Amino acid sequence: MNNHSEYLPIYQRFIRYVKVGLLALDQESREEVIAFIEDQQQSSGGFKDRGEQEDLYYSLFGFWLAKAAGLEQQLEALQNFILQQEEELNLVDRYSLMLLRRGLNLADQGGLNFFRQLFRRDYPVNFSYQLFLFLLVFDARYGYRRKWYRIFQSLIGLYRIPSGAPCSLVAAWLVASSQVGLKTNRMQARLMNYWDGEHGFKAFENGISSDLLSTGVALFALREAEAELRLLTPGSLNFIQANYEKGAFLSGDGDETRDLEYTFYGLLALGCILDSEETILN
């Protein structure tokens, strides 16, 4: 596929699933979520983290949520905030800024500088996680050029995720494997080892309880791999519902703090288990 207009980047699939999750809520809950999103935006236009400070990483979640909810005023304010941001040294912030610029249709960096930014190694992030972040940003810009993914196919296929890896890493690798066209049956089976057997996905295989982050990313990865989710739906729905609190979703592991990140994961998980292919593409 080489038609730019027909390709749906991964981050846009996030937004579509979140929108499905948002529309699945009753009207009162949906209005509460929208009010929470609006409340999390600072006067500068950036979205705030758990410490009430504007933050690029949390602004990325704020963007995905605001876009799914159709909050044009908030998106315009965020765009003004992003226009004032300079290049970030922190890898997570740098990738967040690149995704925000792309999502908000702001001026892109030139090709050479784009790759220079992606390949800078100035922040201690696990190699496989860094590669997935790279793929997310790369996909947003060049994903429609499918032949480019051949560059990563061998690397992803040969890499072996270490034992004890978190659920989020396995899920990320499953998404990457699906994206480059590799067979994913074994990776799907490994990801299912994190299912707690009743409610959701755990952060680690030997963990005790599930959490919403792990559940959200695992369900998204399985959906992208075209796995059957029907057996996971009843327990996941109960888990998601149990962690809804006044317009936001909690982490599910006992933390009572409401924030944009877990609200995103809650709606992502909900959208993934309720969505059909027909809904997501129309």
Q: Sorting pLDDT into bands at 50, 70 and 90, what band is 217?
A: very high
Judge whether residue 93 has pLDDT over 90: no
Q: Per-residue pLDDT averaged across 156-182, rounded?
A: 87
Tens of pLDDT, residue by residue over 133-142, are 777 888 888 7
* CA-to-CA dists, residue 171 to 2, 21, 202, angstroms: 27, 20, 12
Alpha carbon distance 235, 217 (integer Å): 16
Please report, in angstroms and rounded to a whole number, the separation of the first and last CA atoms in the chain.
Answer: 19
Mean per-residue pLDDT over the chain, rounded: 87
Judge whether residue 95 has pLDDT over 60: yes
Tens of pLDDT, residue by residue over 108-132, are 655 545 555 555 555 444 555 566 6
Q: Per-residue pLDDT averaged across 84-97, rounded?
A: 82
* Strand blocks (E) in 54-200: none
Amino acid 275: pLDDT: 79
Tell me the β-bridge partners of 201. 195
Alpha carbon distance 224, 42 (integer Å): 34
Q: Sorting pLDDT into bands at 50, 70 and 90, what band is 149?
A: low
Q: Sorting pLDDT into bands at 50, 70 and 90, what band is 83?
A: very high
Q: Which of 44, 93, 39 is nearest to 69 (CA)?
A: 39
More confident residue, 161 or 128: 161
* CA-to-CA dists, residue 76 to 44, 45, 54, 178, angstroms: 11, 8, 16, 34
Specify the long-range contacts of residues 22-28, CB closer than 8 Å, at least 24 apart: 22/68, 22/69, 22/267, 22/271, 24/270, 24/271, 24/274, 25/270
Tens of pLDDT, residue by residue over 188-208, are 999 999 999 999 999 999 999
Tens of pLDDT, residue by residue over 27-37, are 999 999 999 99
Amino acid 157: pLDDT: 78
Q: Sorting pLDDT into bands at 50, 70 and 90, what band is 56?
A: very high
Q: Per-residue pLDDT averaged across 61-69, rounded?
A: 98
Helix (H, G, I), strand (E, B) or coil at 257: coil
Q: Which of 4, 140, 121 is nearest to 63 (CA)?
A: 140
Amino acid 34: pLDDT: 99
